[in-house]
Chain A
Amino acid sequence: MAKAFKYGFKGITGYLEHAERELLRGLLNDVISMLETESREDEDPLAALIGLDMDVQEPSDRALLRLLPNAMKDDDAGSLEFRQLTERSVRESKIGALRATALGLDKDELLLSAEDARRWSMALNDVRLVLAERLDIRDEADADHIHSMQDWSQAEDVESYLALVYNFTTWLQESLVQSMLAALERKS
């Protein structure tokens, strides 16, 4: 069984079993594949270098749209312009955090630096955002309903399995963030 993250002498520590690490690695890789764009041959290399993408569109997948939301409410043209200038760098920073977290899953005893912890918290958050879209969590009542499913013997279909995975990831992220807040408090 996984142990909650805690902040102590050595820093932020946690423990995940092999099967739990495999599960998380799979989820992280799924989100990485969603965020990776195919490079186009006709792409302007200079534009790519400075992070522009003039051909970008608003994502049609709701989960991807939640990861890369519109930056202006009720302003499609403004949001698209913002995307052209910034979406590539948001994708890259997310992929960076997801990859670093997946790489850190190489042993069961976890010891995270402040920077590791920040990347882990971002990566776990992105995993939860994607799972929440797949589970149709639209409001607090939906979230409470999903949260009530805690018993792995209830995992009888894809939805209940996803709900249990979501709850596990939520629990893990919450313990991590509490440790990060404890670390912040210690520093101030």
Chain B
Amino acid sequence: MNERGFGYIADMLVFALLLSTATLLLARVSPVDPRADSTRHAVIFAQSTLLSLQNTTADQFGGFEYEFRVSELGLSMTGGSARRELRHKTITQLLAEDALLNLRVEAGGTDLTLPQPNRDMNEEFKGFLKSALDRMIGGRFGYRLRARTEPIDLEFVRVHFETGIEDLAQARTQLCSETVMLSLPTSQEELTRRIEEMLGIDLFGQDLEVDPIIEMTLELWSR
């Protein structure tokens, strides 16, 4: 091969090197950020899930019922009439009712044991809500759902409600967190009266800010 032949090959090899670089750059540079797409999908999915929880009755998930503990009130009942059956209520209505009936009272960071005839509702509702969310989210995302009321701080105790369920198995990063505010099925006066009954004290004259609202937050995580 003469000198000119080597020249051609050298030129073309340089040309090929430039093309390879361009090809590699194109292959590596992604035109989209996959995380942005996932985040947007997660936000819309979480909003839809929260809306569905507000509109779907417990009936859709086989119904919800629990045993009302009459004995906690020092009463006795014959037969099985203490079972409450709530299949007609929406899931968020059940959550609000759970919050109202199972307010926690804390003193010095410790839960006080007060008569709670609806205690079973709290435990059973957690399981019910988990199975409902498992079906709605269907393994697409990891999730954490939290519901809480604004704590009411009195001089010696703190009254609040907080519950949460999650399935973060194989979850990697948090994609979004969406919150809705729900009204408790009670007025401010009724809620104050209920706290007075629970604690056996008179709150008249105390500057008490009681907000009958529950905050529900759903986080979705990538898998």
| A and B are interacting partners | no
Contact residues of B with A, CB < 8 Å?
none
Chain A interfacial positions (CB closer than 8 Å to B): none
